[in-house]
Every structure is written in C-alpha cells, then in structure tokens.
Amino acid sequence: MVNNNYNQLVSVTRKINSTKEILWKFISSPGYLNKSHPFCKENNVILWNKNSHIDELIYLNNLKYIREFILWEEGTGYTLLIGESNKEKSKVKWKISSSENDTFLSITVYPYFMARYPKIISFLPYELYIKPKLRSYLNSVIKGIDWYLGRGEEVPRNRFGKHAWFS
C-alpha cells in the first residue's frame, strides 16, 4: 500500500567527508546499511540488479521494513518506499550534492504517519513528536555513513544514542 497523501516532510542534509563518487558507490551497493546504520540489525538484499532494487531492513528492535527503490538516479541519488510489508509506506529521497570541495548527503522523508489527517489535527503531534524523532533518526543515519566512509569501520549499534522507534 502506497500512501500518496504526503502532506509533511522531514529533511536533513549533512556534509560527508568523502567524494561524490565514493559516497554514491557506497550508498548504491547492496547491504550497505549493515556497515553504516546505527539502528540496523540486518540489511538483507531481496532483489538487486540493474533494473530493480529491493531490500529488507531489520532494526535492532526487530521491526522489519521493506525498502523498494522506485527512482534510481545514477551518481546522484534515489527515491524509495519504506515500511512494513503490506502496510502504509513512507517515501524517502536520498540526494548527493556538492559545492566546491564539499560533498553533502540529504535524506528527505515524506512519512505516512498521520498523512490521512487534516493538518489542523496532525500539526501539533507532527511538529512536537514525529518531526523531532525523524530528524534525530536521519541525523544518526547520515552520521553513520560519514563514520564508515571516514574511518572504514562499521558503526557501533546505537553509536549516536538510542532511538525510541528502532533501538
């Protein structure tokens, strides 16, 4: 089930100590979350070829999400749908950019949480709870990628703090 009524988004952009090419090579490789995601227990490939990319992300708390990549932009990013099997999915855009000698990674989530509710009802819960939790999560994910690319070491689980939804 895909929810096309995304009325909110959360986006985080961080500088990555890497080149665009190395960053792309890493985030486009199968199973890369096993090395860099601080809340990942397992990242299993379901299908990974030139035309299709689908994997499973099992979080530390055993929550299982399927990631289905719906737009693949070679060298610059992708868009995917993520969520539990046969349930609502959130849309997520990963984008690599650069300026002068700096490389940046942006992750934007269009969450399905409360997407069916009118903004007048969803505004406070979204702003006070969902948005801060998602922003914290995205920051940890990007920090994990930077950690791995900078050190060449797998990210320790919960390295940047535990997360109420995924730890």
Distance between CA atoms of residues 148 and 14, nearest Å: 14
Q: What is the pLDDT of residues 61-93, one digit of tens each?
A: 999 999 999 999 999 999 999 999 999 999 999
What pairs with residue 82 in β-bridges?
Answer: 67, 90
Which residue has tokens 């948005």?
A: 131
Task: Give Cα 78 to chain centroid, integer Å.
Answer: 11
Distance between CA atoms of residues 144 and 110, nearest Å: 21
For strand 90-99 and strand 10-16, is the pairing parallel, antiparallel, or unpaired? unpaired
Q: What is the band of 142 on the pLDDT scale with cuts at 50, 70, 90?
A: very high
Please give the average per-residue pLDDT across 26-47, as a whole number. Answer: 98
Tokens of 111: 């969450």
Quick one: 10-151 is in which CATH superfamily?
A: START domain (3.30.530.20)
Q: Is 33 helix (H, G, I), strand (E, B) or coil?
A: helix
Q: What is the pLDDT of residues 5-32, one digit of tens each?
A: 445 899 999 999 999 999 999 999 999 9
The whole-model pTM stands at 0.91
